[in-house]
Amino acid sequence: MDTVPIGKTVLLVEDDVFLSNLLSSRLMKAGISVLKAYDGEEALKSLRAQKPDLIVLDIIIPKKSGFELMEDMRGEPILKDTPVIIVSNLGQEADVERAKQYGIKGYFVKAQNSIDDIALAIKTYLETGSI
């Protein structure tokens, strides 16, 4: 993977430490700065403090689900337009449709996508604004 333009930052919200470290490593190799949060409350604090270019969000996380986090973001003018890509084990059509109501940029089911494919999609989004 070639590197993306310098200065792009992703907030990775994933409670599985192994998966978080693996995806983070792939993104950093592509030249992307990575902030990590392991639960929804930590993610909201980080969002308010850092203002990343993209959020990579799991839905099933402690303290505040990904859906609850996106709902909170909607209510805050400084956060409401921050792009979100979902990476989750939830693959039911109802979950995907619910996430789309928040204006997500992409939805990846962990069991159906490799880490490399997800990292490439994130890199592509940061470079082009679409997946």
Assessment of whether the complete model's pTM goes beyond 0.85: yes
Q: Is the residue at 2 inside a domain?
A: no
Q: Is the pLDDT of residue 48 over 80?
A: yes
1 within a domain of the structure (yes/no): no
Residue 4 lies in a domain: no
| Number of structural domains the chain divides into | 1
> What CATH number has the domain bearing residue 51?
3.40.50.2300
Structural domain that includes position 113? 9-128
Q: Percent of the chain beyond pLDDT 70?
A: 95
**Residue 8: which residues within 8 A CB-CB, separation 6 or more?**
31, 32, 33, 53, 54, 126
71-111 pLDDT per residue, tens: 999 999 999 999 999 999 999 999 999 999 999 999 999 99
